Chain A
Amino acid sequence: MLVDYVLRGLKAGLVAGLAFGLFVALVGNPLVGLAETQSHDETGHHGEGGHHESVVSEAVTGAVSVGSGVVWGVLLGVVTFGLAYYFLEPTLPGASDTESYLLAAAGFVTVSGAPWLVLPPRPAGVEQGLPTDVRTFWYATMMVVGAAVCLLSGYAYRRLEPRFGTSTAIGGAALAFGLLGVPVLLAPANPTPGVVSTDLAASHRGFVVFGQAGLWVVLAGAHAWLVRRDRDGGPTAEGRRSAREGPQAVSSD
């Protein structure tokens, strides 16, 4: 059964990954290149250098980036909708479509949203104040905190809903996200020493948020569709459904 779930997550991930790969190819590659040239023009070469002098050609970066985008989607699909959905499905609130979208929202908060509170997306070529290992540490920490807050939020909803009703439960679940503010206050600031065009920074942020939010929406949509398809037909799906929902659910349609 777990294998079925992982396969379904893989399929949804492939759909979302191909969409995101296309996004990287059509928007990501040209825009990152543009940002890099622009910030070079504005700040000139600065001390650290780092990723400006690439060890691979631009074509390789472009191609591998598109491939990484596809793998990224597949990985998120397998982990979120293969593994996490399998274990959390009995406790996720709502109908199956809602379950998929809730899980996608939790995935977005864990993988991107929470880390971005400390380290917002920066355009390419912008020098960052914090050293790489410190930023890696905070990104990883915020992923763990994000996942924990999402679980806590779900737990709060489950506990509050039977006693106080849906709206109070939603309020309690939303309050849990306030805890994200604690590590954000503790985290060090990440100043940008160079001059960064605010237009460039804002448009980059918009493009990144759009890309990741879109990725999760496609992922959830594809997964919800696959779940519906598995429930509506197919001999193995029939067996799964009767195991999960009891015999009355099978005879109801």
Chain B
Amino acid sequence: MATANDSVHGRIESARTELTATKTAIGLAFVAALGFALLFGQDPMLHDSMHNFRHAAGITCH
């Protein structure tokens, strides 16, 4: 039974029907913002509070 889910393209297609563009945009923006804050955020308040975490995770961005 060849379903639409058998290939990467099929997965992309089914994700497209499952989610609206707005939902996708909000989700990706949230994930990107969180990732950026954890990895690269340089605001002194942000950076100094996460200092030990960054060293423990080997993120050398400061």
A-B Cβ contacts below 8 A, count: 142
Q: How far is the CB of B15 from chain A (nearest CB, A)?
A: 5
Do residues B11 and A86 form an inter-chain contact, with CB atoms below 8 A?
yes
Contact A132 B52 (CB under 8 A): no
Decide if A201 is an interface residue (CB 8 Å cutoff).
no
Q: What residues on B are CB-neighbors of A116 within 8 Å?
A: 58
**Which chain B residues lie closer than 8 Å to A247 at the CB level?**
1
- Per-position 1/0 for A64-88, Cβ under 8 A of B: 1110110110010011000000111
Q: A89 an interface residue at 8 Å Cβ cutoff?
A: yes
The segment from A21-29, A161-169, A174-182, A229-237 that touches chain B is A21-29
Given contacts A1-B18, A32-B51, A51-B48, contact A132 B11 (CB under 8 A): no
**Contact B1 A135, beta carbon cutoff 8 Å:** no
Of the four ranges (under 10, 10 to 19, 20 to 34, 35 or more), the interface on chain B belongs to: 35 or more
Residue of B1, B40, B45, B60 touching A119 (CB-CB under 8 A): B60
Set of chain B residues within 8 Å of A209, measured between Cβ atoms = 58
Query: Which residues does chain B contribute within 8 Å of A122, judged by CB atoms?
Result: 60
Of residues 37 through 62 on chain B, the ones whose CB sits less than 8 Å from some CB of chain A are 38-40, 42, 44-45, 47-62
- Contact yes or no, A244 B5, CB < 8 A: yes
CB of B21 within 8 Å of the partner chain: no
Residues of A within 8 A of B (CB): 1-3, 23-24, 27-29, 31-33, 35, 50-51, 54-56, 60-62, 64-66, 68-69, 71-72, 75, 78-79, 86-91, 112, 115-116, 119-124, 128, 132, 135-136, 139-140, 204, 207-209, 211-212, 243-244, 246-247
Contacts A66-B53, A136-B40 known; list 16 others, CB within 8 Å.
A1-B14, A2-B18, A24-B52, A24-B56, A29-B52, A69-B56, A87-B11, A90-B5, A91-B7, A119-B60, A121-B58, A121-B60, A123-B55, A124-B52, A140-B40, A209-B58
List 29 A–B pairs whose Cβ atoms lie within 8 Å, in order of A's numbering: A1-B5, A24-B53, A27-B56, A28-B53, A28-B56, A55-B45, A56-B48, A56-B49, A60-B49, A64-B50, A64-B53, A65-B51, A65-B53, A65-B56, A72-B38, A72-B53, A79-B31, A86-B11, A87-B15, A90-B5, A90-B11, A124-B55, A128-B60, A139-B60, A207-B56, A208-B58, A209-B58, A243-B5, A244-B6
